[in-house]
Amino acid sequence: MISFNNICKIYSKNKIFYNANFSIKKGDFVFLTGESGSGKTTFMRLLSGLEKPDKGSIIVNDADITKFNKKELSDYRRKIGIIMQNNIFIENETVSYNISLPLLLEGESQVSEKIEAILDLVNLDKKIYNSIKSLAAGERQRVAIARAIIDSPDIILADEPTNNLDQKLSEAVMKMLIQLSKYGTTVIVTTHELSLAKKLKQNILSINNAEII
């Protein structure tokens, strides 16, 4: 279970969240919508432990992540899959290496089998040894998705994952994330495409006036 309890986050007098509350259950799929600058990315950064709120608690699986120390935060982040709005990669390395990073951090075995399977899932099996530099924007986005889901995380946080994808691919990616939630993974996706969220008939939360509704 994930819950925000009276979260406040203020950037130089700009209230992003003020006593914001929300909770979702394990295995839920949630769209988070809001205007540009409303705080969708801040929400993701708070939930991934990259930032701390000014006030309030964030409970993930019965633990308050705002009270985590550095080591606990690292362990926590290894259990979640993050897809950032501006995904960054090790540009001079291959697709395979970039995707394998979460597995290398965990010291997993059977890395190559998992990479092949995941690339097959995101339709990039032919680009396994290509350099990241050589990929188109849509392909890079799919590599980011593959990297986020390769280690079967408990939670997936996707910040505008369909940003550089066409309509068809956007739907395919969303369906894949919905599918993952059916296997028990909690998925939170921020998007400004309300139409796509409505079309997929999933729970929709929105950030409005520093509150999550």
Partner 1 sequence: MQRLFKIKNIRGIVNFIKHNAQCLNSSFFYIIDNPLRYIFFIIPLSICFFLVLVSYNSQKIIENNFKDSRERIIIFLKNNVSPKDINTIESELVNKFNIISFKYFSEEESLELYKKINEKNDITKNLDYNPLPKTIIIKKNIKDSDADSLSNFLENNRFVDYFNSNIIYLKRIFYFKDILLNLLLFSIFFFLFILIIFINYYTKIEISSNKNKISILYILGARNSYIRREYIYLPILSGLICCLIGFIFYKFFYYFFTILLNEILTSFEISSSLLSISFVEGTLSSLLVIIIFAIISIFTINSYINKTLDL
* Residue numbers at the binding site for partner 1 (CB under 8 A): 48, 50, 70-71, 74-79, 82, 84, 88-91, 98, 101-102, 105, 107, 147
CB of 205 to partner 1, least distance (A): 23
Q: Which two tokens stand for residue 147?
A: 């990297």
CB of 105 to partner 1, least distance (A): 5
Q: Which two tokens stand for residue 162?
A: 């369909």
C-beta of 101 vs 169, nearer to partner 1? 101
**Burial (Cβ within 10 Å: 0-12, 13-18, ≥19) of residue 200:** middle
- Best CA proximity match to 47, nearest among 81, 18, 19: 81
CB of 88 to partner 1, least distance (A): 5
Distance CA 210, CA 213 (A): 10
C-beta of 33 vs 42, nearer to partner 1? 42
CB of 114 to partner 1, least distance (A): 15
Q: Which two tokens stand for residue 116?
A: 């092949």
C-beta of 20 vs 43, nearer to partner 1? 43
Distance CA 185, CA 177 (A): 9
C-beta of 17 vs 76, nearer to partner 1? 76
